[in-house]
Structure 1
């Protein structure tokens, strides 16, 4: 019983730590890109970067059946597509850094049934 509880607490603590590290890395990157594009011509991209950074602050990492899943609630389809494009550039590198012995599936965008709310998921193979 105590070894099972220890294992569950260890997994929970690791997931919280990795969630925090992943949030910081992604949010910092998006805010830096948003601030670097403050020209009036590129203001639309700047707003998308800031909205994407806000959605990255809500990342949730959990483990189910010994498989890690990362969920990024984005909200709208436009932000989902923009975030997916941005994550294709840097997410695999971050995941390999934070989870060195894991293999990941492709990034998937999904919609909550009955609503117009979108989110991104990344699952461990």
Structure 2
């Protein structure tokens, strides 16, 4: 079976034409988005095609990096104990959840709404699935 693209050309065009808005931090570990503790060193992130500011990027500090490393190490310990078949099953199911969520969300919405819908509808299923195999 041929694999379908997650997003069609119109959705990709929305990304580069100002329809995508980043409203929450992109840091993710321990099964949740993590807001940076120190917000004083933020830098604007520009969309290359338009020069529009997409968001303010707040770099992680030492404490957040340590938390992320601990979370990744914990996930590694669990993931490394799984067989290749178990890992494959988890990754294929994760891909299916992302694909279904993106397709369902993209039918009637601009790109930023697609991203939000995928995050809302697919995140719980995906996180639950990944937590069964690993905790990151």
Q: State TM-score, norm by structure 1.
A: 0.30
Query: Quick one: higher RCO (CA 8 Å, sep 6+), 1 or 2?
Result: 2
Report the structure, 1 or 2, having the larger helix content: 1
Report the structure, 1 or 2, having the larger strand content: 1
Larger radius of gyration: 2
